[in-house]
Structure 1
């Protein structure tokens, strides 16, 4: 286990925001899992599991947090086949784009909708990332997790997941994804590549994929009433505050224009929530993970 003192969240999140945590613990092998609870007790900060930091809004200042980063980069690799599926395993730290390239190269379908989503396999599993009608957890065969200092395998049938949410034993964020095995189907490589290209350029035309952003800020209340449409109609597309802005491409994407702060981001989010509630009677819920959490 490697330990880094006083890591900056602004250097570890795609939104480029956040203050200083107590420490960062990097898990390099399964034996580190057993040592983790004691080290967290000594450091005293609340643990926050970090992947690539692509869905996090970290607050400013000195933060009573310890970042825990599983650094398992093995795979992707094919580990079996049966019942019409090909099983592909990848470590939690494998970048999602690398997994998708592997699938395209080997003619394995099922995850094409995730193209253009930044982050890692572990993060995509933990938040049940989704796009273009695909949800990560629907394609899982099993996952290996660490919980309470122990490592175990959880099979797909026992996973509890919903929109942007995964629970293990009725608990959320109380486990660390170490690796995931996906059940995919064989199909023509050309078809997979065409689908991924289409999805990527569709996303690029409508979302600020190259900006400093954390992805969607709010959850969609329903497929018929997406948050982006509500924010647009409430006048928040392109709205700015303190170096932060809702994108002019997609109103549900908040971007850091270079000198933003978490304080400004949270104030802009609150203003947007109040405007949508007043106009439509709909209470938006954050999709981005705010740390430390503002509410118990």
Structure 2
């Protein structure tokens, strides 16, 4: 049965530690609960927003007209990784619940000697969020290993979809309807199946550890951030380089700042507000536009009443 809870303070639920209060939180313990989700959301009003670990969200201050949807991690949605079969070309299929943590999945894959997702080491958050935003790093992206995804939506109900029914790109993932058009309305990832290649477990673990240590040395992985805030305009012009060259590394407004380690990471120094964050992002966009003639697009997802 769905649980309707008091609206969460999003500053307590996002890695940026920013955000006011949502209208309500709706929590599902298992797939059968989701059948009543559309009706519950219609009754509560507000825009539905799927919340996992909160690692790619910039939530506004104040009272937000959103209803947060969460999946309980102690039931089917948090199912541990499980080997379910093989593809015709010999790749190993691993199914995992959307509420499972991505680092835990990667650790299990390394222990099994299964490669293909090593570049994702060091990315926080859950599996569902990694699929929904096509998380990626070091030339590896979630979508390239994705074999099937199980979703729930008002239009599709419960559906397990193969590659012909989803599309992914740079920090983008979309589900297609039966006609091949992008699905109209919201959907919720409930589980994912990845196709991995067999390899040497020690080498896979070493590659993951190397990627994590590289991130730790060059990115503020322990700070209150949402990861990279701007999309890279191109491989030749990464946002971090543009921001750095424009003199924005370490630049701050109020309690928000661009990291001194990596200019594309906006961090909350402890007293930041969403107002500070939006001001800082706008300042950066103008600075990069004036210096390089390029428009920076946000990678972080904004929840706002503005």
TM-score, normalization by structure 1? 0.97
Within 5 A, what are the aligned runs for 1:198-217?
198-217=210-229
Query: Could you say which residue in structure 1 is the equivalent of 2:297?
Result: 285
**Alignment partner for residue 80 of structure 2, among 51, 67, 75?**
75
Per-residue CA distance 1:243-290 (angstroms, 9 max, x = gap): 000000000000000010001000000000000001100000000001
Is residue 110–residue 184 contact of structure 1 (8 Å, CA) maintained in 2? yes
Partner of 2:6: 5
Gaps of 5+ in 1: none
Deviation at 1:174, TM superposition (A): 1.7
Q: Which residue of 2 aligns with 1:231?
A: 243
Distance 1:278 1:172 in 2: 37
Query: Which SS does the other structure have where 2:15 is aligned?
Result: coil
Asked whether 1:43 is paired with 2:44, we answer yes
SS at match of 2:212: helix
Tell me, yes or no, if the aligned pair for 2:91 and 2:198 is still in contact at 8 Å.
Answer: yes
2:19 aligned with 1:18: yes
- 5+ residue gaps, structure 2, are 177-181
Mapped partners of 1:6, 1:140: distance in 2: 33
SS in 2 for 1:209: coil
Partner of 1:64: 65
Residues 274 and 257 (structure 1), Cα distance of their counterparts in 2 relative to 1, 3 Å cut: same
CA distance, structure 2, for counterparts of residue 111 and residue 171 of structure 1:
27
Paired residues of 1:166 and 1:172 also in contact (CA < 8 A): no
The answer to whether residue 222 in structure 2 is matched with residue 222 in structure 1 is no
- Indicate whether 1:106 and 2:112 are aligned: yes
Does the 8 Å contact 1:113/1:196 carry over to 2? yes
- Give deviations 1:189-235, integer Å, cap 9, x for gaps: 11101101110111111000000000001000001100000000111
Mapped partners of 1:157, 1:288: distance in 2: 27
Per the normalisation by structure 2, the TM-score is 0.94
Q: Is the 2:223–2:267 Cα contact (8 Å) retained in structure 1?
A: yes
